[in-house]
A and B are shown apart, each in its own frame.
Chain A
Amino acid sequence: MTIADGFGIALVVVIVAVVVAVLVSVGGKVVRARTSRRRESAIESGRRAVLLAFDDPRALDGLDPEIVEAIAVRMLSQLRGSDRDELASRLVDAGVVAAARARLRDRRPGRRIQAADLLGLCADDELADDLIDELSERLDDRDLDVRQSAARALGRIGDGRAVPALVQALTTRQISVNTAGVALLRLGAEDPGPLPAHLRAPHARVRATVAEVLGELGEVHVRHEIADLLHDDPVVWRSAVRALGQLQVNDVVPRLVLELEILLGVDEEEGRSSAGRSRVELDSDTILVIEALRSIGDPSAIPTLESCRDRSSRVAAAADRAIRVLDRRGPDRPFTGDPQETATVERAAGADVVPIGAAKGAA
């Protein structure tokens, strides 16, 4: 074979490849145009059927279960209160939930994801027993998105028995920190009981996540355990500071003031000091403590905050803001540990409405 023959063959191959690529594009567009029209029409009739199902569960008969699931997930995500419970109950009656349970083991990951999302949104106490096991199994799924959906569903079901499985998945990096955090937060809003034990978990990412979750949940009775994490590694330390700021209890202020003094280099504890750390890192950690003290609102921190004013302008600005807030509040009364008082702890950041936090008292 000559060089010219080789070029000739290459030319033919490339021409054929270009033609095939063009045909695939065109074919893809044709198929998409057809399927999207069919799907749009199915979604529209499915949406009508789901709305009719409020009155008649049989309205869902004969519809593509995948379409019904997709619509149900979207609608249930948007509905709140009795409407949501009502729709969930209709979906259970219509067998949609049973079908979703079967699809948790579907070959296609997309279907497993949708099924897990639907189950998390539909499950009631009666179903929870079975679903916790089934969804916990999915935390070992080979597909990350399925594992994340299963974690979200377990969080929404809100049964404390799911905590060990979620913590285990967080430990082994099967699910992301954020997904685990949100799931634990939702779950803890229903029953925070099992969470504090994990403040002593062997893995730093578990300790950090649980501390932040307990802080968000306002579990003031674990404030000392969280304060003990101030001796932990830097990631856990930051989570602990944020959590203490969220808890807003005065009796941890001395601990935070000590941390601030260590960062400012005016104090040391058990060999902990600010020496050798970069200015950027020191500044951001210092601001974190200042923000926590501002959130707690105890004026006893003001003298230490004053000493931040000769630091970098970012630190000084944060300290300045905090001092102004603490000055306005005046002397706070110390928290006595009385559970009744927990409810009256002032939420300085009350304006920052966090929907999940609000779920604690919600239906």
Chain B
Amino acid sequence: MRDVVAFILNAFNGFVLVYFIVLNTSYLVLIWLAATMTKHRVQRDDTAALEDILTSPLTPSISVIIPAWNEEAFIVDSAQAALRLRYPDHEVVIVDDGSTDSTFERLRTAFDLVEVAPIDDSDVPLRGPIQSVHVPASGERLTVVRKQNAGTRADAVNAGVNAASKDLVCFVDADSLLEADALLRTVQPFVDDPDRIVATGGVIRALNGCEVIDGEVVDARQPTTWVARIQVIEYLRSFLLGRTGWSRLGALMIISGAFGLYRRDIVVELGGLDDESLGEDFDLLMGVHRHLMDRGVDYRVAYVPDPVCWTEVPNSVKVLRTQRKRWSHGLAQVLWKYRGMMFRPKYRRVGSVGMPYYVAFELLGPVIELVGLVVVIAGLSFGLINVPLALLFFSVAILYSILVSVASLVVEEINFHRYERWRDLGTGFVVAFIENLGFRQFHAFWRLEGLWAAVRRSDAGWGEMTRTGFQGVGDRGADEENDAVAKRVEVAT
């Protein structure tokens, strides 16, 4: 009996090992694809090409949609930064999603808003009714829509889509900052291939720790908290390089809700974002894929690796846990919703490569990882596993994961070089080790919690993250953050 159990344990460990090797090798392949794609793009001077887009009357117009719920610390800076973006024809639509703080008051004061007649019917249905619509008395290209909170970000974005009047809609989070040329760069695929491109996404990077002056990141730095530093590497590996790699494979399935550009008519045809989905950004792009592939449309989705959206990432373990549970829950929801696309040739690489990969490695990854860990511990406890062999196995698995993180740093350093300090590079190496020894296991547990919540179909909220404003992102503890917000409110009143 003991031999049988030992055999099963060893067989399972062998499976876990193969799983780890395939997972990390796939990451390395995606990083390699991204590195070769971005090498020339980032190094070439594209001033002339951007000037063409800036001066061309053929450039499509863009509505930048910013959903905001209790974003008093960021909202004015965010609106001003969005209005200042270099682009020939863009407007900014802010949706105040029933904020209970002074989000709207700050906007009203800063832009001298006046109320105008609201739009009386909608291209996409809304759950929370519109309360009022406001525009600046100065005639700036800003529209502020106030609506009742319906408990989902998607509903706020849909209100923005209804109010948008331009060809393309760009979704941006209120706590995010776009670089000055971000729209010009993200729209480039649309102007290069206007007949086929339906959506593009840009890169998300962690704003924490960076120096921000006048709504612009002037000095990129690593955050001071380890929780945020780990996310810098994660964003680099998954958002920048992973998605660029998927884009190159023609199977990009997620464009982050913090920075994505879509053809408005396609979003409207889909009925807007699904307000019941926790992964509404993932859901939107999957909806676009299914909608267009069902109709046999020749289309493309592109990921552009150089326009950067800087966003505040959670600084505390508690908030990060809530966020990751929600992501995992949303991932499960969306994969279940679109399960009919899997392995069907009609859905091309999205159905045949992307979805199976996401199910095997993103959805089930935490299950296999944690079960593997439990089995190893149990096996060692009962003396069923060879200790030196288990240690070797563990070392290979962890070091291979570390290699993936370090490879991401190599590409960052060679191709992008956003962090100039030696100290930031050193921190990156340390984080690459820490991430895989401790954090990874906790992260797997949080993802498992999210997956379990999805299986039970339990309700998952968005949680609340304390905001500090762009000038103070990153380097404070939660208590200091609360103090900072309190002080700002005091000064404002």
Let me know if A212 and B57 touch, CB within 8 A.
yes
Let me know if A18 and B193 touch, CB within 8 A.
no
Let me know if A356 and B406 touch, CB within 8 A.
no
Interface string of B301-339 (1 = CB under 8 A from A): 000000000000000000000000000000000000000
Let me know if B403 and A18 touch, CB within 8 A.
yes
Please, how many angstroms separate the alpha-carbon atoms of A15 and B56 in the complex? Answer: 52
Given A7-B392, A152-B52, check contact A280 B119 (CB 8 Å): no
Determine which of B44, B120, B195, B425 lies in contact with A113 in the assembled complex, contact meaning CB atoms within 8 Å: B44
Determine which of A15, A25, A357 lies in contact with B410 in the assembled complex, contact meaning CB atoms within 8 Å: A25
What's the A-B contact tally at a CB cutoff of 8 Å? 139
- Tell me whether A230 is interfacial, beta carbon within 8 Å: no
Given A25-B409, A25-B425, check contact A11 B51 (CB 8 Å): no
Let me know if B52 and A18 touch, CB within 8 A.
no
9-residue interface stretch from A179-187, A193-201, A254-262: A179-187
Please, how many angstroms separate the alpha-carbon atoms of A317 and B163 in the complex? Answer: 12
Please, how many angstroms separate the alpha-carbon atoms of A185 and B57 in the complex? Answer: 9
- Tell me whether A354 is interfacial, beta carbon within 8 Å: yes
Let me know if B393 and A21 touch, CB within 8 A.
no
- Tell me whether A266 is interfacial, beta carbon within 8 Å: no
Let me know if A178 and B410 touch, CB within 8 A.
no
9-residue interface stretch from B277-285, B394-402, B437-445: B394-402
Contacts of A14 on B, CB cut-off 8 Å?
Answer: 396, 399-400, 403
Let me know if B47 and A74 touch, CB within 8 A.
yes
Please, how many angstroms separate the alpha-carbon atoms of A52 and B399 in the complex? Answer: 57
- Tell me whether B3 is interfacial, beta carbon within 8 Å: no
Contacts of B422 on A, CB cut-off 8 Å?
Answer: 29
Chain A stretch 140-180: residues in CB contact (< 8 A) with chain B: 145, 148-149, 152, 176-179
Determine which of A28, A280, A317 lies in contact with B265 in the assembled complex, contact meaning CB atoms within 8 Å: A280
Let me know if B399 and A15 touch, CB within 8 A.
yes
- Tell me whether B192 is interfacial, beta carbon within 8 Å: yes
Contacts of B393 on A, CB cut-off 8 Å?
Answer: 7
Please, how many angstroms separate the alpha-carbon atoms of A73 and B47 in the complex? Answer: 9
Determine which of B56, B123, B269, B407 lies in contact with A178 in the assembled complex, contact meaning CB atoms within 8 Å: B56
- Tell me whether A336 is interfacial, beta carbon within 8 Å: no
Determine which of A11, A70, A216 lies in contact with B395 in the assembled complex, contact meaning CB atoms within 8 Å: A11
Contacts of B386 on A, CB cut-off 8 Å?
Answer: 4
Most buried by B among A149, A181, A212, A235: A181
Given A21-B410, A177-B192, check contact A10 B396 (CB 8 Å): yes
Let me know if A28 and B410 touch, CB within 8 A.
yes
A205, chain B: closest CB distance, angstroms: 7
- Tell me whether A265 is interfacial, beta carbon within 8 Å: no
B474, chain A: closest CB distance, angstroms: 23
B411, chain A: closest CB distance, angstroms: 9
Let me know if B396 and A7 touch, CB within 8 A.
yes
Instruction: Give the interface SS of chain B, mostly helix, strand, loop or mixed.
Output: helix
- Tell me whether A313 is interfacial, beta carbon within 8 Å: yes
Contacts of B123 on A, CB cut-off 8 Å?
Answer: 280, 283, 312, 314
- Tell me whether A65 is interfacial, beta carbon within 8 Å: no
Chain A stretch 35-66: residues in CB contact (< 8 A) with chain B: none
Please, how many angstroms separate the alpha-carbon atoms of A29 and B388 in the complex? Answer: 38
Contacts of A145 on B, CB cut-off 8 Å?
Answer: 40, 44, 46, 49
- Tell me whether A109 is interfacial, beta carbon within 8 Å: yes
B156, chain A: closest CB distance, angstroms: 19
Please, how many angstroms separate the alpha-carbon atoms of A137 and B422 in the complex? Answer: 45
Contacts of B483 on A, CB cut-off 8 Å?
Answer: none
Chain A stretch 1-30: residues in CB contact (< 8 A) with chain B: 3-4, 7-8, 10-11, 14-15, 17-18, 21-22, 24-26, 28-29
Determine which of B43, B48, B268 lies in contact with A110 in the assembled complex, contact meaning CB atoms within 8 Å: B43
CB closest residue in chain B, given A155: B52
Please, how many angstroms separate the alpha-carbon atoms of A14 and B413 in the complex? Answer: 21
Contacts of B46 on A, CB cut-off 8 Å?
Answer: 145
Contacts of A355 on B, CB cut-off 8 Å?
Answer: 55
Contacts of B43 on A, CB cut-off 8 Å?
Answer: 110
Given A4-B392, A25-B409, A178-B53, check contact A152 B417 (CB 8 Å): no
Given A8-B392, A11-B395, check contact A313 B58 (CB 8 Å): no
Please, how many angstroms separate the alpha-carbon atoms of A344 and B167 in the complex? Answer: 31
- Tell me whether A231 is interfacial, beta carbon within 8 Å: no
Interface string of A106-131 (1 = CB under 8 A from B): 00011001100100000000000000
- Tell me whether A284 is interfacial, beta carbon within 8 Å: yes
Contacts of A216 on B, CB cut-off 8 Å?
Answer: 57
Most buried by B among A29, A74, A278: A29
Contacts of B191 on A, CB cut-off 8 Å?
Answer: 176-179
Contacts of A235 on B, CB cut-off 8 Å?
Answer: 195
CB closest residue in chain B, given A204: B195
Let me know if B48 and A152 touch, CB within 8 A.
yes
Let me know if A312 and B48 touch, CB within 8 A.
no
Please, how many angstroms separate the alpha-carbon atoms of A18 and B436 in the complex? Answer: 14
Please, how many angstroms separate the alpha-carbon atoms of A77 and B388 in the complex? Answer: 66
B479, chain A: closest CB distance, angstroms: 36
Let me know if B55 and A356 touch, CB within 8 A.
yes
Contacts of A284 on B, CB cut-off 8 Å?
Answer: 265
CB closest residue in chain B, given A2: B389
Let me know if B48 and A73 touch, CB within 8 A.
yes
Contacts of A73 on B, CB cut-off 8 Å?
Answer: 45, 47-48
Please, how many angstroms separate the alpha-carbon atoms of A355 and B88 in the complex? Answer: 10
Contacts of A117 on B, CB cut-off 8 Å?
Answer: 48
CB closest residue in chain A, given B266: A280
A208, chain B: closest CB distance, angstroms: 9
Contacts of B51 on A, CB cut-off 8 Å?
Answer: 77
B28, chain A: closest CB distance, angstroms: 10
- Tell me whether B29 is interfacial, beta carbon within 8 Å: no
- Tell me whether A338 is interfacial, beta carbon within 8 Å: no
- Tell me whether A324 is interfacial, beta carbon within 8 Å: no
Let me know if A148 and B58 touch, CB within 8 A.
no
CB closest residue in chain B, given A145: B44
CB closest residue in chain A, given B119: A313
CB closest residue in chain B, given A173: B193
Given A4-B389, A11-B392, A22-B406, check contact A280 B269 (CB 8 Å): yes
8 example contacts (A-B, Cβ-Cβ < 8 A) are as follows A24-B414, A28-B413, A73-B47, A77-B51, A109-B44, A177-B194, A216-B57, A312-B121
Give 16 new A-B contacts, CB below 8 A, not counting A77-B48, A176-B191. A4-B386, A14-B400, A21-B409, A25-B414, A29-B413, A74-B47, A77-B47, A77-B51, A110-B43, A149-B48, A178-B58, A182-B58, A205-B195, A235-B195, A354-B57, A356-B56
